[in-house]
Amino acid sequence: MTETATDARTFITRYLGALSGHPKPADLVASFVSDASLMDHIALVESAFAEYELVAEQMVAEGALVAMRGTFRGCHSGTFAGIPATGRVVTAPLTIFYRLENGKIAEHWLQFDAAALVGQLQGDVAAA
């Protein structure tokens, strides 16, 4: 199935609405994602930041490719980067590109400020 930019953008909007701020059980993730590395990433981040959010600030779509610029937001409720749960609410800017194929996310590319996120977990006020 060839994705149009409008279809792709609508799909990613539905995906973010279904997962952001909600539990992310494997069956729900699999209904949107076929990219095994993204499935693993979601499970890892969800274990450290239960019900984390991805807040889209801008989306651009071309064919089956969607670029999303936004913010990660979550409460640190499990070990992340070797840091035990702190209970801190953290945010980090991010950019994600999603490529759709056969009605699911087949590939993704993620860029985010991991150093700022870890700094917030460690209580570095300058990183927050």
- Does position 94 have pLDDT exceeding 90, yes or no? yes
* Domain at 5-127, CATH from 3.90.1170.10, 3.10.450.50, 3.40.50.300, 3.40.30.10: 3.10.450.50
> CB burial class (10 A; 0-12, 13-18, 19+) of residue 101?
middle
- For the stretch 99-120, pLDDT in tens is 999 999 999 999 999 999 999 9
Q: How many angstroms from the chain centroid is the CA of residue 3?
A: 21
Residues 80-91: what's their mean pLDDT? 95
In the chain, what are the domain boundaries? 5-127
**What confidence tier does 125 reach under pLDDT thresholds 50, 70, 90?**
low
**3-class secondary-structure state, position 50:** coil
C-alpha 99/C-alpha 92 separation (Å) is: 22
Partner residues linked to 98 by β-bridges: 66, 108
pLDDT per residue as tens digits for the range 7-58:
999 999 999 999 999 999 999 999 999 999 999 999 999 999 999 999 999 9
